[in-house]
C-alpha cells in the first residue's frame, strides 16, 4: 500500500496542479480517541453529532459510532473475518450499508454489501449479505455511495480511471446481483458520497475530490482535500457540509471549508434532500440493475481517465518505487 500511495503522490502533483489550494476555512471537528480506529476508510454522518466509520482490511467486521468529541459510543459487530471492508453509505435512520468491496489484485468473482443498524451501544448482528458481480470482470473498489432516494452505488479504484456502478434496486439474498455500469469517475477513487439534495455527488482520491452533477455525471469541479496521513474517507452531512478523515491512529475528522465547496458548486448545496428518502434496495428478486437516469458515459474531462502527461509521470514514479522494492 505504501508503494501505491507514493505513486499516487507523484500522480497527485500532476492532477492537482489546476485545483485551487484553498484550505484556510477547513475546520478540525475532532480526532478519533479510540486507538482501535486505526485505518478509517469510510465516514458516514448519522446526524445529531454522530458519525459511523470502519477500518479497512485486517480488522474484524465492525462499524464504530463516534460522537462529536471523537469518543466511540457504539460498535456494531457483524462478521468475524470479512475480505476487505472499504466503504460505508447511509441506509436510512440508524442504519448503514457496509461494503466488503476491496480487491487490490482484482481477482474476486464477487463483492458483498450488507445493511445493518448503528448507533449508541454495542451490538452483534447477523445481517443479510448480498453478493454483487461486475458486468465486466473483477475490480478493486473502496467507495460505496447511496443516493437520498436509496439507490446504492459502487465506484471502482483504477489507475486508468474509475467507474461508477449501480446496485440493483431489488436485491436477491441468494445472488449473485449484477451491477450496472453508469459513468466514469476519477482514477484512484477512495470514497464518495451524495449531497443531500440528490443533485450532486462527490468522489475523492488521496489529495483531491471531484464533484459531479447528478444524474448526468458531468464534472462540476475539484478541490483539494486537507493534508492527512492517508486521506481515504469522505461524507456529506444533512446540511451539505463535506467532512473527511484519514487512516492512522487518532486521525482527525475535518470539515472542508464550506466556501470552497460552494465555489465549486457555484451555489450552496440544498440542506435537505429533494427525493423521498428510502431504506435502499429491496431485499427481493434477482433482477439486474436497471439503468439510472444517467444516459451519458462521460469523457476524460469528467475524471474517468488519465491524460498522457499524468500517465508518463505515473509510469516513471512506479518504475522507481517498485525498482527499489525488488
Q: How confident is the model at residue 141 (pLDDT cuts 50, 70, 90)?
A: very high
Of 143-147, 225-229, 274-278, minimum mean pLDDT range = 274-278
The answer to whether 91 touches 281, Cβ cutoff 8 Å, is: no
pLDDT per residue as tens digits for the range 9-22: 444 444 444 444 43
Grid cell digits, residue 279: 431504506
How far apart are alpha carbons 137 and 38 in whole angstroms?
31
Domains, the chain, ordered by start: 2-325 (2.120.10)
Across residues 286-311, what is the average pLDDT? Answer: 38
pLDDT of residue 129: 98
**Per the structure block, which three cell numbers stand in for 293?**
437516469
CA distance 94 to 100: 20
Q: Comparing C-alpha atoms, which of 89, 84, 78, 70 is closest to residue 122?
A: 78
Q: Please give the DSSP secondary-structure letter assigned to residue 318.
A: H
Strand partners, 133: 178
* Predicted local distance difference test score (pLDDT) of residue 175: 86
Cα–Cα–Cα angle for 246, 211, 181, rounded to 5 degrees? 95
Query: Model-level pTM greater than 0.85?
Result: no
Q: What is the mean pLDDT of residues 270-280?
A: 52
21, 31 in Cβ contact below 8 A? Answer: no
pLDDT surpasses 50 at 287: no
In this structure, are strands 129-133 and 177-178 parallel, antiparallel, or unpaired?
A: parallel
171, 216, 217, 284 from 294: Cα distances, Å: 21, 5, 7, 24
Read off the pLDDT of residues 176-229 as tens digits, 9 standing for 90 and up. 999 999 999 999 999 999 999 999 999 999 999 999 999 999 999 999 999 999
Residue 314 in this model has a pLDDT that exceeds 50: no
> Helix axis angle, 2-15 relative to 308-325, nearest 10°?
150
- Whether residue 271 is preceded by a cis peptide bond, meaning omega within 30 degrees of 0, is no
Amino acid at each position: 500500500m505504501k508503494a501505491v500511495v507514493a505513486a499516487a503522490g507523484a500522480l497527485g502533483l500532476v492532477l492537482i496542479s489546476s485545483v485551487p489550494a484553498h484550505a484556510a476555512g477547513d475546520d478540525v471537528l475532532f480526532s478519533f480517541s479510540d486507538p482501535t480506529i486505526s485505518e478509517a476508510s469510510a465516514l458516514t454522518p448519522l446526524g445529531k453529532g454522530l458519525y459511523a466509520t470502519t477500518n479497512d482490511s485486517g480488522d474484524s467486521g465492525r462499524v464504530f459510532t463516534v460522537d462529536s468529541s471523537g469518543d466511540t459510543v457504539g460498535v456494531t459487530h457483524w462478521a468475524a473475518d470479512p475480505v476487505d471492508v472499504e466503504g460505508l453509505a447511509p441506509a436510512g435512520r440508524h442504519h448503514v450499508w457496509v461494503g466488503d468491496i476491496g480487491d487490490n489484485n482484482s481477482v474476486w468473482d464477487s463483492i458483498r454489501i450488507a445493511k445493518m443498524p448503528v448507533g449508541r451501544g454495542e451490538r452483534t448482528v447477523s445481517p443479510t449479505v448480498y453478493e454483487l458481480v461486475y458486468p465486466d470482470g473483477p475490480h478493486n473498489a473502496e467507495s460505496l455511495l447511496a443516493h437520498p432516494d436509496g439507490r446504492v452505488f459502487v465506484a471502482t479504484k483504477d489507475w486508468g480511471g474509475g467507474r461508477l456502478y449501480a446496485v440493483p434496486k431489488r436485491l436477491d439474498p441468494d445472488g449473485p446481483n449484477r451491477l450496472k455500469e453508469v459513468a466514469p469517475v476519477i482514477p484512484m477513487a477512495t470514497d464518495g458520497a451524495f449531497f443531500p439534495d440528490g443533485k450532486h455527488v462527490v468522489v475523492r482520491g488521496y489529495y483531491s475530490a471531484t464533484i459531479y452533477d447528478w444524474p448526468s455525471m458531468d464534472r462540476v469541479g475539484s478541490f483539494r482535500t486537507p493534508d492527512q496521513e492517508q486521506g481515504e474517507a469522505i461524507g456529506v452531512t444533512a446540511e451539505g457540509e463535506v467532512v473527511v478523515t484519514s487512516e492512522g491512529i487518532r486521525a482527525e475528522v475535518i470539515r472542508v471549508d464550506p466556501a470552497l465547496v460552494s465555489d465549486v458548486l457555484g451555489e450552496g448545496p440544498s440542506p435537505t434532500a429533494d427525493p423521498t428518502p428510502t431504506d435502499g434496495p429491496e431485499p427481493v428478486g434477482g433482477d439486474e440493475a436497471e439503468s439510472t437516469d444517467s444516459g451519458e458515459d462521460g469523457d476524460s474531462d469528467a475524471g474517468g481517465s488519465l491524460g498522457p502527461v499524468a500517465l508518463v509521470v505515473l509510469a516513471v514514479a512506479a518504475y522507481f518505487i517498485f525498482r527499489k522494492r525488488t
